[in-house]
A and B are shown apart, each in its own frame.
Chain A
Amino acid sequence: DTGVSQDPRHKITKRGQNVTFRCDPISEHNRLYWYRQTLGQGPEFLTYFQNEAQLEKSRLLSDRFSAERPKGSFSTLEIQRTEQGDSAMYLCASSFSGRGNEQFFGPGTRLTVL
């Protein structure tokens, strides 16, 4: 299967701990996106990369959040000092750049902060 993969699929942590999620995009795609989805809501944009450059960040991405894509392939999203409000599904998507590019989504990482 050559779709977008995310690891882990589920993460339970205690408040105040740091967590890191990984996303492996479709290999030919140069754009990679992170979204967050809470229960009963649609996905909300967090940030995106074109190759290794982080080109856009949402104001939702507080200073406790950091994302990297060091070699323009996989990406990591780290949350420091987690809070209960961080509990959500974190979605990764990838696409080609260009007009009307379809974003292909991974299965998500469900984070629960106790």
Chain B
Amino acid sequence: AQSVTQLDSQVPVFEEAPVELRCNYSSSVSVYLFWYVQYPNQGLQLLLKYLSGSTLVESINGFEAEFNKSQTSFHLRKPSVHISDTAEYFCAVRGGETSGSRLTFGEGTQLTVNP
């Protein structure tokens, strides 16, 4: 069984400040890791994913996440946030190809960017 812990339920920051949203997972098998974002009144959108290879993955809008197997973490970072980044962010894990297809989500982190 897999589980995901997002360590912060709310993260308020000022515009142009750096931010880190923390995610830890537990799994007995190799995993695929995802970050999804949910803007107000919209559906979940994939932000970035780690499947294999380079442990640092990047999104098109400046976010990055690093897979750390020894610490079982997949923290999301952005060096300078914008007001438009205000949203709820969900970390999710899926077992490897021989495991089930379900995504297991964390409880979410509400990122609020203030002017």
Contact = CB atoms under 8 A, between A and B. Distances in A.
Nearest to A44: B105
Given A99-B51, A100-B32, A100-B49, A43 B102 contact: no
Given A41-B107, A41-B108, A106 B43 contact: yes
Interface in B3-54: 4, 6, 9, 32, 36, 42-46, 49, 51
Contact of B43 (A45, A48, A101, A108): A108
A91 B101 CA distance: 16
Given A42-B106, A42-B107, A44-B105, A102 B100 contact: no
B51 A40 contact: no
Contact of A45 (B9, B97, B103, B106): B103
B30 to A, nearest CB: 12
Interface residues of B, number: 24
A42 to B, nearest CB: 3
Nearest to A48: B101
A103 B101 CA distance: 10
A29 B103 CA distance: 17
A99 B97 CA distance: 6
Given A99-B51, A100-B32, A102-B49, A31 B101 contact: yes
Contacts of B51: 99-100
Contacts of A102: 46, 49
B101 A105 contact: no
A107 B90 contact: no
A86 to B, nearest CB: 19
Contact of B44 (A31, A48, A58, A91): A91
Contacts of A101: 101
A41 B108 CA distance: 7
B90 A43 contact: yes
A103 B103 contact: yes
25 contacts: A33-B101, A33-B102, A33-B103, A35-B103, A40-B108, A42-B4, A42-B90, A42-B105, A42-B106, A42-B107, A43-B90, A44-B105, A48-B101, A48-B102, A56-B101, A91-B44, A93-B44, A99-B97, A100-B32, A100-B49, A103-B103, A104-B46, A105-B36, A105-B45, A107-B42
